[in-house]
Amino acid sequence: MNFLPRIAYADPLVSPAQPPLVSLDEQTQTRNKYLVERDSNQLYHADASTIFNWARENIAAPIVVTLSMENTVLAELASTHLPEADFLFLETGYHFPETLEVAAKVEKRYPNTLLRSVPVLSVSEQNRTYGPSLYRTNPTACCRMRKVEPLAASLSNYSAWVTGLRRADGPTRATTPAIELDAQGRIKINPLVTWTLEETETYTRTHNLIRHPLTDQGYLSIGCATCTLPVAEGQDPRAGRWAGSTKTECGLHL
């Protein structure tokens, strides 16, 4: 009986070579640390406009706004409060087609430049290198290669970044601050942090924003199509992410 040779895949703990990262200069890191220590407590319960105004008044450009495209509230507010900021979308290669359609509509609707960050390896290259369906065999490694590392590379040109994190999204985000320092000393700004899912939906409808069609099908938190399911009534919005595993975060916000 003939047996096919076993394919030796690369260790998923070892990522492919990444582009060199640009570190923040020491002066900017010191300034960022000072701002967060000074203002984090007073902004903890602040509304989105207050947090955006703080960013505009205290942070020298450039700032980038990261968009998941599950809703477009952040894009709408950022285009008003930070019109010179870039938008950033992580093109993981595994998005729902509907998510890509929302991204295309955002690019047309808002004047901010939409940048698209891609992993070092395409999906097919990753399959050949680390084995098929890494999102199943090692979802943490897959998220690292397709989200965390591309984001780190894209942030190299910025001193601060804006996210759509909300405390209401689930237990792991319940105490998220309005502003914080990330591991590289950049200021991470979370202007929607006090918003509920209901407030997000109401704002979307009231202002006729671009809506992700899957939100009407029970997808309250939308990531890669391979790792996202709709949630049951009463579950927290992120219950459908990596369903069936203990994983709750992709690593972008840890």
Alpha carbon distance, N-terminus to C-terminus of the chain: 50
User: Among this protein's residues, is 250 annotated catalytic?
Assistant: yes
Binding-site positions for [4Fe-4S] cluster read 142-143, 224, 227
**Are 131 and 142 in contact, with CB atoms under 8 Å apart?**
no
CB atoms within 10 A of CB 55: 23
How many DSSP H helices and E strands does the chain contain?
9, 6
- List the catalytic residue out of 218, 250, 251, 253: 250
Among residues 20, 39, 188, the alpha carbon closest in space to that of 120 is found at 20
Residue spans of alpha helices (H) in the chain: 26-43, 48-58, 73-81, 97-109, 123-130, 134-137, 139-143, 149-154, 197-206
Q: Which residues are annotated as a binding site?
A: 142-143, 224, 227
CA atoms of 90 and 147, how far apart (whole Å): 7
Asked if residue 115 lies in contact with residue 154, where contact means CB atoms within 8 angstroms, the answer is: yes
Strand 187-189 to strand 179-181: parallel, antiparallel, or no bridges (unpaired)? antiparallel
> Alpha carbon of 215 to those of 98, 157, 231: distances in Å?
10, 33, 10
Catalytic residue ranges: 250
